[in-house]
């Protein structure tokens, strides 16, 4: 176990005059607090925070961060308190330690909710100070290195969490070495058979190609030196999990992989990067489509490099990365390589990696519940990205597989909510098209649009998903509120009482509701009777004096046409559906059935289902058609046809419906006897006249014995 003076010496290797007093005090305090505690392996518990501190010294972090590493488990696992930490080490260190402390007493039902709430707390602390993440990642790395002492089920759970959350977080801030090790250690526990197989193949390949990689490295260095470019060339082997992921995603065998080995060319300046690239491309043939310039357009995690693949001297594919020493440091250590982070946070200029992470955390906070938050976090953190452009040239980075809908929400939530189409590179394309690097995306908008709920299944970003869910919920709530307002207006009118939103606002305490919208939505969902609202506003009014809405039918003569609730169609401002047993079409006398939580279902007044459903606690509403002639809409109907059972019958029936502009939605056929069969057809029509015309023409065909409309 590392001693006090050894820790100080490690820090003194990169800080001229380290704060020895702080380091010594944190070392002694943590050792005393953890006392005789043991890890699952049997080692003294204090060895863990000490190893975390050692990992951070390898990253050349400041003394405060090293002290936080030593103290990071004291509040959670000992009798130490935040107040005590503040008094001994200062509020800033106390704040960082608290940010790393899990919430042990969460009163939540599911493990996923607990995991999400702890992660949410950690991410909020990260957005305040990046050093929280650096300590947490080092903590997780040491835990993964010593995971073997745990039960197998716990090993797999922790490894899965590491793979899904912490490895991507390391990648998000550019700490690729740390990410690679976290992924490799997780892979070992999540899929041990695959891990052993890949490791075995890689070891065999390394032995087989040892001389070849040395030869290619020397060849590159010599050729570049001859061209006047001073360069350091090194080979690298693809990591086990990276190999497995590529095999799995592309359906390749190990033998089919052509890029297990790559080479890095480290030069002195950015200009030398492009000179080296030009020389390599003149010397060896470039593989088309395999060049990427991350110097002119860096990744979100600050990564910069030129990537290319060439056909090497032995006719094999060779992957090359060309970068400067400074770029190489950022590529390996990410945000920890940023010089401003070594002097604390007082003068930190945010790197784009940290800025991007903070924006992501702000977006993640939009999740409406813990499970959504966890889902969105996993979606947002993976780093395979495409870079697209707005018409004004602004770069938008999105996960691979993103669509123009994701792009619209990445620009602004309002743009996503009002998106109705898009142009990709000047050409109108479907909004579910997968975006490619370099696409210019122009979003087409409409103020009347709200995002279809189905879009949730085609987007790739957490922000888009949460925004679509929220907009869908708001749209449904608005529909129920509108219906509730209309029901209340008619109910108050029948009770001969004044109604307005101010009166309802004043009565909210009696209804035990917080907002007027809450009341309207519950009335619209038939979860609160309209008479309860009347009695809340007019307490002296008796329910016997209220003319109940229940029992109203389409034939009820007590209400005028203007009193009835207007029904337009499924795209109206009311939550409307049509009976599945035949539906209703404009021209029918109709009745609205209000079931709790299901909105209005429209039936023809002659439907046999009405009597049964009324007995199930449904409420009948007096409704009327309100057809928009400018935006005509089809409505569902069902017909039953008895026809001859012979070849060509189905084609003839379908032809009649098509020629009369009907739209078949569903078809069921049943042979009654050898000579006859019965068809039930769900058909969309413009109205009763249109439906009657189709029935008339079908009945006139020689194959037809009988045609009926089914109304339930």
Q: How far apart are CA 635 and CA 686, in angstroms?
A: 6
- Burial 365-377, CB ≥16 within 10 A → b, else e: ebbeebebbbbbb
* 76 in active site: yes
> In 3-state terms, what secondary structure has residue 503?
helix
Q: Considering 20, 76, 293, 434, which one is annotated as catalytic?
A: 76
Q: How far apart are CA 178 and CA 182, in angstroms?
A: 6
Joined together, the tokens standing for residue 690 give 């249109």
Q: How far apart are CA 667 and CA 518, in angstroms?
A: 42
296 CB contacts (<8 Å, ≥6 apart)?
A: none
Q: How far apart are CA 590 and CA 553, in angstroms?
A: 8
Q: What is the DSSP string of 668-694?
A: EEEE-SSSEEEEEEEEEESSHHHHHHH
Q: Which residue has the tokens 């009745």?
A: 591
According to the 3-state scheme, what is the secondary structure of 217-264?
Answer: HHHHHHHHHHCCCCCEEEEEECCHHHHHHHHHHHCCCHHHCCCCEEEE
Angle, to 10 degrees, between the axis of helix 91-99 and the axis of helix 82-89?
140
CB-based burial label for 207 (10 Å; 0-12, 13-18, 19+): exposed
Q: Which residue has the tokens 């305090």?
A: 29
32-36 long-range contacts, CB within 8 A, separation 24+: 33/74, 33/78, 33/79, 33/80, 34/73, 34/74, 34/77, 34/78, 35/78
To 5 degrees, how large is the angle CA 699–CA 705–CA 706?
A: 65
> How many residues would you count in the chain?
712
Q: Which residue has the tokens 């050409």?
A: 427
To 5 degrees, how large is the angle CA 325–CA 383–CA 64?
A: 60
Rounded alpha-carbon distances, angstroms, from residue 3 to 7, 45, 700: 6, 15, 100
Sheet holding 292-293, edge to edge: 232-237, 261-267, 317-324, 306-311, 292-293
Q: Considering 20, 77, 573, 644, which one is annotated as catalytic?
A: 77
30-37 long-range contacts, CB within 8 A, separation 24+: 30/70, 30/71, 30/74, 33/74, 33/78, 33/79, 33/80, 34/73, 34/74, 34/77, 34/78, 35/78, 37/77, 37/78
Report the candidate in 291, 256, 258, 257 with the shortest Cα–Cα distance to residue 274.
291
Positions annotated as catalytic residues are: 76-77
């Amino acid at each position: 176990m590392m001693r006090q003076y050894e820790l100080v010496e490690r820090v003194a290797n990169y800080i001229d005059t380290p704060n020895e007093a702080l380091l010594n005090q944190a070392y002694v305090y943590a050792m005393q607090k953890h006392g005789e505690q043991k890890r699952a392996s049997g080692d003294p518990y204090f060895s863990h925070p000490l190893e975390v501190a050692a990992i951070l010294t390898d990253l050349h972090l400041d003394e405060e961060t090293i002290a936080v590493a030593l103290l990071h488990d004291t509040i959670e696992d000992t009798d130490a308190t935040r107040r005590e930490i503040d008094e001994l080490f200062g509020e800033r260190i106390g704040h960082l330690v608290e940010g790393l402390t899990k919430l042990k007493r969460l009163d939540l039902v599911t493990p996923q909710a607990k995991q999400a709430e702890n992660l949410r707390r950690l991410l909020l602390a990260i957005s305040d100070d990046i050093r929280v993440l650096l300590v947490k990642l080092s903590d997780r790395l040491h835990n993964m290195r010593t995971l073997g002492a745990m039960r197998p089920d716990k090993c797999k759970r922790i490894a899965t969490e590491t793979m899904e959350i912490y490895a991507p977080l390391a990648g998000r801030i550019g700490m690729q070495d740390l990410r690679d090790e976290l992924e490799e250690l997780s892979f070992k526990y999540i899929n041990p058979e695959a891990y052993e197989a890949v490791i075995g193949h890689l070891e065999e390949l390394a032995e087989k190609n040892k001389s070849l990689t040395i030869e290619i490295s020397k060849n590159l260095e010599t050729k570049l030196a001859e061209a006047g470019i001073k360069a350091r060339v090194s080979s690298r082997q693809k990591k086990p999990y990276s190999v497995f992921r590529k095999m799995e995603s592309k359906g390749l065998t190990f033998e089919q992989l052509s890029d297990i080995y790559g080479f890095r060319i480290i030069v002195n300046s950015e200009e030398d990067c492009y000179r080296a690239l030009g020389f390599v491309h003149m010397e060896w043939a470039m593989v088309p489509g395999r060049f990427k310039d991350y110097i002119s357009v860096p990744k979100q995690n600050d990564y910069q490099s030129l990537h290319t693949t060439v056909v090497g001297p032995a006719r094999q594919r060779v992957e090359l990365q060309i970068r400067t020493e400074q770029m190489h440091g950022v590529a390996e250590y990410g945000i920890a390589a940023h010089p401003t982070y070594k002097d604390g946070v007082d003068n930190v200029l945010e790197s784009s990696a940290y800025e991007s992470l903070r924006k992501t955390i702000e977006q993640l906070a939009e999740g409406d519940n813990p499970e959504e938050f966890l889902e969105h976090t996993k979606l947002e953190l993976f780093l395979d990205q495409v870079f697209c452009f707005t018409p004004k040239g602004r770069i938008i980075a999105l996960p691979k597989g993103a669509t123009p809908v994701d792009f619209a929400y990445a620009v602004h939530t309002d743009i996503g909510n009002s998106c109705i189409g898009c142009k990709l590179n000047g050409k109108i394309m479907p909004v579910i098209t997968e975006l490619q690097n370099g696409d210019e995306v122009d979003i087409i908008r409409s103020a009347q649009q709200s995002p279809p709920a189905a879009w949730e299944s085609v987007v790739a970003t957490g922000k888009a998903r949460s925004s679509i869910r929220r907009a869908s919920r708001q749209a449904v709530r608005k529909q129920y509120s509108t219906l509730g307002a209309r029901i209340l207006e008619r109910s108050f009118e029948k009770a001969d009482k004044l109604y307005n939103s101010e009166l309802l606002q004043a009565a909210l305490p009696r209804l035990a509701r917080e907002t007027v919208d809450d009341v309207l939505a519950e009335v619209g969902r038939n979860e609160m009777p309209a008479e309860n609202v009347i009695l809340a506003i007019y307490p002296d009014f008796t329910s016997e004096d209220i003319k109940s809405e229940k029992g109203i039918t389409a034939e009820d003569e007590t209400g005028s046409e203007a009193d009835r609730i207007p029904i337009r169609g499924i795209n109206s401002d009311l939550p409307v559906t049509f009976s599945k047993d035949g539906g209703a079409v404009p021209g029918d006398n109709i009745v609205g059935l209000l079931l709790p939580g299901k909105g209005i279902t429209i039936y023809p007044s002659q439907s046999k289902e009405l009597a049964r459903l009324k007995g199930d606690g449904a409420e009948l509403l007096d409704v009327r058609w309100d057809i928009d002639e400018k935006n005509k809409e089809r409505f569902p109907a069902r017909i039953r046809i008895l026809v001859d059972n012979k070849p060509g019958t189905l084609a003839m029936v379908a032809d009649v419906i098509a020629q009369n502009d009907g739209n078949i939605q569903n078809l069921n056929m049943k042979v009654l006897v050898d000579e006859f069969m019965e068809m039930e057809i769900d058909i969309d029509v413009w109205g009763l006249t249109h439906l009657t015309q189709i029935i008339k023409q079908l009945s006139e065909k020689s194959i037809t014995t009988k045609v009926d409309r089914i109304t339930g």
